Amino acid sequence: MRYLIDTNIFIYLSTDYHSLDLDILALFGEPNSLLYISTESVRELIVAYNNKGWGNKKWKTAEDMVRSIEETYFVEILPIQKEVMRTYARLRINNSQNHRDPSDHVIISHAMTLKIPLISSDTRFDFYRRQGLNLIFNEK
């Protein structure tokens, strides 16, 4: 089974494994599980590394971090295709919870376009199920 992991899930996977729900860990452990991450999440991780110092103790450079996503954690980085941007253009935003994060919206659109489940700990993502998001929520 294929899964797209949200930025927060990669952070937990790489630096705070205990924040992953046992059901999520079981999914990751299945032999046929394929994990993917959006290039938008990778961009967010690079920004966090460069601006906030996240991951500086684990990796020497942001480039090392990006390399390790695929080589150490076996998570494939997916490019954002124009079809994802079409989904993003028609996505209805969760205004009731003031969800205005464009990166989240791109990641949600990526999962919806590819029709693969998105694993996230973000409670605001539930709103997008009505638009076709297959969400697997990580109870942390």
Can you give the pLDDT at residue 48?
96
pLDDT digits (tens, 9 = 90+) for 88-111: 999 999 999 999 999 999 999 999
d(Cα 93, Cα 103) in Å, to the nearest integer?
A: 12
H or E element at residue 118? strand 118-120
Q: What string of DSSP letters covers 22-62?
A: HHHHHHHHSTT-EEEEEHHHHHHHHHIIIII-TTTTT-SSH
136: which 2 tokens? 């697997």
Mean pLDDT of 7-20: 96
With a CB cutoff of 8 Å and minimum separation 6, the contacts of 23 are none
Please give the DSSP secondary-structure letter assigned to residue 64.
Answer: H
| % of the chain surpassing 70 pLDDT | 100
Average pLDDT, the chain: 96
Beta-strand pair 118-120/75-78: unpaired
Length of the chain: 140
User: What gap in Å lies between CA 73 and CA 131, rounded to an integer?
Assistant: 30
The residues that bridge with 36 in the sheet, in sequence order, are 4, 76
C-alpha to C-alpha distance for 47 and 64, rounded to whole angstroms = 14
**Residue with the two structure tokens 């297959």:** 134
- pLDDT, residue 52, reads 86
